[in-house]
Amino acid sequence: MSEATFVDRSPERLRIGGRLAAAARYVVRDRELLIATILLGILVLLALFGPLVWTENPNGIDVGAALQSPSLAHPMGTDGNGRDIFARFNEGARISLAVGALVVLASALVGGTIGLVAGLWRGLTDSLLMRALDAILAFPPLILAMAVTVGLGVGLKTAALGTMLACVPYFARLLRSDVLRLRALPYVEAAVALGATRKRIVLRHIFPHTASTMLIQSAAVFGYAILTLAALGFVGLGAQIPTPEWGAMITDGLQYALTGQWWVALFPGLGLLAAVVAANIYADRARDILDPRGEFARV
């Protein structure tokens, strides 16, 4: 590498390093964001490495060890069939976080495409797409997800599909309003007046400026998706026992709550609470973090 090349690249490296340092300072100063980062980090580590470190079979039945309280051998105790709850908790974290992320990605792609098309074409296309979304929004999201799950067959895949369908309108309507706002900006009108093609306007002047909106909405929908999947599992329409999904685990543990085996339902409930709280905090803070006039833009 030549000296000139090194000199040319070093300011960019310093700028990236400065932005990372600013991000770290922002997280440390904001206690709620710090707590959310720690909670989400723990859940991600348990989901990725928990099954590798704690090698107990999450579906392994040992009737002789049924309903044991938390101990060194079983940090979160065992359930009514003697299954290790810590192993099931780790597997449940992997399922909830992975499926929640896939639901957000799929609903963002589908809803974002609908919103982009509606905002750009307007007219009859806009009206038809928005009326279809209004029909979906006429149903409470959880009821809609339950209806889709019942119609297509009970299970985790259909529960994820129903949750995704319920989330699509939130992305579509938000992106449509963002596209309509961007189309009215002077630099976009100038590009149109200069003869820029619709493809260039979308790829160069509109789509990149919707990224922050989509990220903020994704953070909010992620918490909702995890909670909805757990709710469907709780009522028996989502993941089925013995699949170690948090909602199904809570349902299974409720029968032991009144007899003193509190740990069976408590730990998956705490995992669900931590994931939803962390997602909601990130959604609240995402606007400040992604604001181009905020602290990161000044670094």
Tens-digit pLDDT profile for residues 24-81 = 676 678 788 888 889 999 999 999 999 889 989 999 898 888 999 999 999 999 999 9
Q: Is the pLDDT of residue 10 over 80?
A: no
Greater pLDDT, 192 or 41: 41
Q: How far apart are CA 18 and CA 166, in angstroms?
A: 40
* Per-residue model confidence (pLDDT) at position 6: 40
Residues 296/22, Cβ–Cβ less than 8 Å = yes
Q: How distant is the alpha carbon of residue 173 from its chain centre? A: 18
* Per-residue model confidence (pLDDT) at position 16: 52
- Please tell me the CATH superfamily of domain 93-299, with its number: MetI-like (1.10.3720.10)
Q: Is the pLDDT of residue 103 over 60?
A: yes
Q: Is the pLDDT of residue 9 over 80?
A: no
Please, which residues have CB within 8 angstroms of residue 260's CB and are 6 or more apart in sequence? none
Question: Domain spans of the chain?
Answer: 93-299
Bridge partners of 78? Answer: 84
Q: What is the DSSP letter of 154?
A: S
- Around 146, how many Cα atoms within 13 Å sit in the side-chain half-sphere? 12
Phi, psi (deg, nearest 5) at residue 15:
-65, -45
Instruction: Give the CA-trace dihedral at 101, 104, 105, 108, to 10 degrees.
Output: -170
Per residue in 244-276, pLDDT tens?
999 999 988 988 888 889 999 999 999 999 999
Instruction: Give the CA-trace dihedral at 42, 17, 29, 100, to 10 degrees.
Output: -40
